[in-house]
Amino acid sequence: MSQSERMIDIAGVHKTFVADHGTVTALEPVSITIKEGEFISIVGPSGCGKSTLLRLISGLDQASGGSIKLDVSGRKRPVGFVFQEPVLLPWKTIIDNVRFPLDTSGISRGQGDKTALDLIKMVGLAGFEKALPRQLSGGMRQRAAIARALSDDPPILLMDEPFSAVDLLTRDNLNDELLRIWQSTGKTILLVTHSVEEAAYLADRVMVMTARPGKLKCVHNVELLRPRGEETKLDPAYHALVAQLRRDLRTPAGEAH
């Protein structure tokens, strides 16, 4: 399988918007090239533009300048997006929610059901196909949201702090499952997070961003062995990276956050 070396090519992308008191820079020019199948974490404080960057890549917002190229050969929906909240349709069952992207692109019901059932099994929700979102826990709803994002098989998965609303234990589980899903599907994943531990544990590369104005400060390669698991969290190299990320994020000269 030939992999694209430039799955996501971001060149000088920046974003400003007009507020009451003048223009605000949400994101200073960012350039980075992401390979197919890479797992990228983006870590930074609130207001560093990490969610903005994700929205620009997804096409939800337009950049003020620069270019974003996706090597996806004209697909209608190149990216799957997982929001901070699950954003499921509360009147649809889990399987109907997962099948929703397929239903709205003219895939037959039978084919859609088959895909949706496979995905529901993959995210560990087998047996909850007919449940309504409100009947599930926060973590289970987020699993359903991941299944929906994957349902029409986009090559790129963008995740905007997907696990920030679930408890720590659930979060650890979801992280491991995400790694398993990533390994079995070969998606290119960009995951935005507040947590340096999560960023280091999951990614091939970690983009560190700082706030006011939002900019990309540095990118770290993560050399930790795959597959990762509990032993990774005991690895001194993991701790060194987490400590480094913390130092990177600390604002200079005691500037208040």
3-class secondary structure, 207: strand
- 62 forms part of the interface with another protein (CB under 8 A): no
CB-CB contact of 158 with 82 (8 Å): yes
Q: Which is nearer to another protein, 135 or 251 (CB)?
A: 135
- 108 forms part of the interface with another protein (CB under 8 A): no
Going by C-beta distance under 8 Å and a sequence separation of 6 or more, which residues neighbour residue 143? Answer: 123, 124, 125, 174, 177
Q: How far is the CB of 87 from another protein (least distance, A)?
A: 5
* Among 86-94, 163-171, 179-187, 226-234, the segment contacting another protein (CB under 8 A): 86-94
Position among 41, 51, 52, 58 found at the interface with another protein (CB under 8 A): 58
Q: How far is the CB of 81 from another protein (least distance, A)?
A: 5
* Among 87-95, 165-173, 237-245, 248-256, the segment contacting another protein (CB under 8 A): 87-95
- 91 forms part of the interface with another protein (CB under 8 A): yes
Q: How far is the CB of 90 from another protein (least distance, A)?
A: 5
* Among 24-32, 66-74, 100-108, 161-169, the segment contacting another protein (CB under 8 A): 100-108
Query: What DSSP string runs through 97-127?
Result: HHHHHHHTTT--HHHHHHHHHHHHHHTT-TT
Q: Whole-angstrom Cα distance, residue 199 to residue 170?
A: 16
- 74 forms part of the interface with another protein (CB under 8 A): no
φ/ψ bin of 127: left (φ > 0), alpha (ψ from -120 to 50), beta (otherwise): left
- 79 forms part of the interface with another protein (CB under 8 A): yes
- 134 forms part of the interface with another protein (CB under 8 A): yes
60 phi, psi to nearest 5 deg:
-70, -35
- 89 forms part of the interface with another protein (CB under 8 A): yes
Q: What is the DSSP letter of 213?
A: T
Residue 16's closest CA among 28, 1, 7?
28
Peptide bond into 213 cis (omega under 30): yes
Q: How far is the CB of 247 from another protein (least distance, A)?
A: 34
Q: What is the DSSP letter of 234?
A: G
18 phi, psi to nearest 5 deg:
-90, 125
Q: How far is the CB of 76 from another protein (least distance, A)?
A: 6
17 phi, psi to nearest 5 deg:
-140, 160
- List contacts with another protein (CB under 8 A): 58-60, 76-77, 79, 81, 83, 85, 87, 89-92, 100-101, 104-105, 132, 134
